[in-house]
Each structure stands twice: as structure tokens, then as C-alpha cells.
Amino acid sequence: MSLPELVRGELGEEDPVARVHLGGDDELFVTPTRTLIYRAEGLLSDESTEELSHDAERVAVSESRRKAKFTLEYGLDGDRSFSVPRGSLDEVLHPVLAGVLSAAGITEPGETVERTFRFSELTLVVTSARIVKHVGAAVWDDDYEEFHYDDVTDLTFEEGSVATTLVLTADGRQERFKAPSDSARAIKERLTNALLAHYDVRSLEEFRALSAAAAGEDDADDPVDRTDFGGGPDPLSADPEAVDTDAGTREEPLADDGAADADAPDAVGRGTATDTGTSAPSGGPDAAGTTAATELHREADPVEADGRAVGAGEGDGFGDTGFEPAEPTDDIAEEVAALRALVERQGEQIERQTELVEQLIEELRRGR
């Protein structure tokens, strides 16, 4: 994949060892000595690059809802910061921290940084020759510990429901690391594989047998107990999320059918006069049904009893009010057409503004 022209000019003879996509055309490039952030041309800025040296004394990371901010502190030379989308945090942290450890002389030439793990205020960096541990708000500073695999004699794991404890025996003492259970498998595999590759063995049992043989019989007969039971920091979010137990549904009380029936008007007819002057019988169920049927027939039939058709004013719902429905005119049709054209133009403008707003939001999410 080709590099942007501006990036090629900034890198010079150096080749990037890591390249991270930050969204859009923005990218981050890591070399052995520096980190280069490339910002493509957008609504908020022109095409640009930003360079940060790996010769830092402290590396800190802070997170917000959408962004992750990296801060490299250079002592008397001040601080330098850059932001990336939060989803790219781990992918960016690994090569940047590897470059800082190399510049600080913690890792040696040819030593590979296998994986970086960050749990709340605990950071573990697994390399091909050692494990680097840092406890604190910063990801790394001078207050760190390292355990070289040459000094390691055992590695065990204590499973828990919330966290898993890694017990590393190095130089005659135990060091304990607590990791959330959902990340425990990844760190177990990385650390175990790195340790076995360093000793060129195929399993932890072979590694323990090799360590016991190297310790000698004197150490086996009279072991020195220098166990340190200091616990590591607790992982993030040890408590499970609260569960919403209110999963039931409520039903509104149904209306009383009996009360509704009781409030219904009396349907018994009393008899009405017809056009011929004959009275309908009243006083019985058959008479009531006949009267109701006659009234319904009169409402549904558009022809009156004397044979005349109902007028236009009565059939359209205006009745005898004297009002008649307005007929569409040419002026109204022209106004409607003009309004339709105006709405279509406004719709096109809103669609274009929506695209610009979405592009602006995307650039803001990429840390611009």
C-alpha cells in the first residue's frame, strides 16, 4: 500500500514498522524512533502531519466517549498529545509503547514486543525476553518493574469467577498479577508461549522440570521460602452490571361490560308516523325491531319516500346550510405547483447539509 506523498517526505529513509488506520484517510505510522500522525484534508483542516519522538519519560492515556488521548511527557521539554478514535486505542497503544520502551533501553535490539495489556491501573507488556509491569494512572513511566525470563522458574494460574491471578515465580519470589477473566485467556496464552519459546520447551511441565534440574538437589532438599503474597491491583469493573428484574408487563383493567350495557340507551321504539299517516304498532319486541329497521333504511337510502332524489347539497354533507364545496381554480393549482417545487429544492438542500454534518461528525470522531 502506497504512502501519502507528505508522509514519504517526513519519513525520509526510515521505514514504518506499524501502520494504523484511524478512519477516513487519516493514518498513524510508527518507526523505531518516532510516531507520525497523518491527517488528510477535510472540512476542519488541510492535509498535515504531526511527529512525536519516542524519547519520552512518561506515557499516559485518557478516554472519553468517542476519543482516546495519548500524552507523551518529555520532562523539561514539555508534553505532546494526540487523539485517536476510541476504537483504535489498543491498536495504537501497542506500537507506540513498544517504541518508547525501545528508546528507553528497556527492550534490546531484536527483542519483540508480543502484546500489551491494560487493566485499569495495571499495564503488562509481554515481550520475547521479559514481562514489564507498571502500576499507576500512567501507562508507563520510570516507576516500572521487569521480570526477565532467565530468572523465571514457574508460572501458574489461579482461576476465579471475576478475575484470574497469574503467579510468576522469578528469582526465588512470587509475583502476582490480577486480570479480568474475560482477558485472562489471551494473557495466559501470550505469556506461556513467550516463556516456552525462550526456553525452547513444549509445555509448562517440561519448563518446570528444566527449572528443577537447574536448581540442584540442595535447593530441592532445603528450599528457602521467600514467598511474597502481595496482591496486584483489582481489575476494572469487578462487579457485574445490575440486572433489571422488572421484566413484567402491566395490563390496564378492562371496562365493565355489565356497566356499559347498563348505560346503553333504551332501544325500544315507540312508533312513528309514516308518510301515509299510518302509525306503527308499539309495545312489543316485533314493533320495536320494525321501527328501528325503518329508520335505518331511511338513513341509508338516498331516495326519499316521495320518490325524489336527494339534492347535491344534502348528499355531500352540507345539507341545508347553504354552503357548497369550492371547486379548484387555476390560481390554486399554480400555487400548489410552486409550493411543491419549493419543497423539492429545500429537500435537496437538507440532504446536502446532512451529508456535510455527517462528514463533520466523522472528522471529530477521528480526533481532529
Answer yes or no: pTM beyond 0.85. Answer: no
The pLDDT tens digits for 10-58 are 998 889 999 999 988 899 999 999 999 999 988 777 899 999 999 999 9
How far apart are alpha carbons 188 and 180 in whole angstroms?
12
Residue 124 phi, psi (nearest 5): -120, 130
Angle of CA points 51, 86, 178, to nearest 5°: 105
pLDDT band at 167 (very low <50, low <70, confident <90, very high): very high
More confident residue, 64 or 323: 64
How far apart are alpha carbons 171 and 163 in whole angstroms?
25
Burial of 163 (0-12, 13-18, 19+ CB in 10 A): buried
Q: Look at residue 131 in the predicted model and tell me its pLDDT.
A: 96
- Over range 262-268, report the average pLDDT: 43
Q: Look at residue 223 in the predicted model and tell me its pLDDT.
A: 53
More confident residue, 328 or 33: 33
Q: Cell digits for 273?
A: 308516523
pLDDT band at 217 (very low <50, low <70, confident <90, very high): low
Q: Look at residue 225 in the predicted model and tell me its pLDDT.
A: 53
Q: Look at residue 279 in the predicted model and tell me its pLDDT.
A: 43
Where, residue-wise, is CATH 2.30.29.30 in the chain?
Answer: 106-217+224-232
Is residue 98 over pLDDT 80? Answer: yes
pLDDT band at 258 (very low <50, low <70, confident <90, very high): very low
Q: Cell digits for 308?
A: 325524489
Output the average pLDDT for the chain. 77
Residue 140 phi, psi (nearest 5): -160, 140
- Quick one: what percent of the chain has pLDDT higher than 90? 45
Q: What class does CATH assign to 106-217+224-232?
A: mainly beta
> Which range, of 199-213, 270-284, 289-303, averages the lowest pLDDT?
270-284
Checking phi first, is residue 237 left (phi over 0); if not, alpha (psi -120 to 50) or beta? left
Residue 297 phi, psi (nearest 5): -65, -40
- Over range 172-192, report the average pLDDT: 91
In this structure, the number of other CB atoms found within 10 A of the CB of residue 112 comes to 11
Q: Which residues contact 291 (CB under 8 A, 6 or more apart)?
A: 269, 270, 271, 272, 280, 282
**Are 176 and 232 a contacting pair, CB within 8 Å?**
yes
Is residue 254 over pLDDT 70? Answer: no
Does the domain formed by 10-86 have CATH 2.30.29?
A: yes
User: For residues 202-233, b (16+ Cβ closer than 10 Å) or e, as one string?
Assistant: eeeeebbeebeeeeeeeeeeeeeeeeeeeebe
More confident residue, 41 or 100: 100
Residue whose grid cell is 496482591: 231
The pLDDT tens digits for 126-166 are 999 999 999 998 999 999 999 999 999 999 999 888 889 99
Q: How far apart are the first and last CA of the chain?
A: 24
Residue 285 phi, psi (nearest 5): -60, -35
C-alpha 215 chain-centroid distance: 51
- Identify which of 91, 92, 22 has the alpha carbon closest to the alpha carbon of residue 52: 92
Q: Look at residue 290 in the predicted model and tell me its pLDDT.
A: 47
More confident residue, 221 or 15: 15
Q: Look at residue 208 in the predicted model and tell me its pLDDT.
A: 92
**Are 32 and 17 a contacting pair, CB within 8 Å?**
yes
How far apart are alpha carbons 325 and 319 in whole angstroms?
11
- Over range 327-352, report the average pLDDT: 84
Q: Which residues contact 102 (CB under 8 A, 6 or more apart)?
A: 32, 54
> Which range, of 96-105, 152-161, 309-318, 328-337, averages the lowest pLDDT?
309-318
In this structure, the number of other CB atoms found within 10 A of the CB of residue 155 comes to 20
Q: Cell digits for 270?
A: 315507540
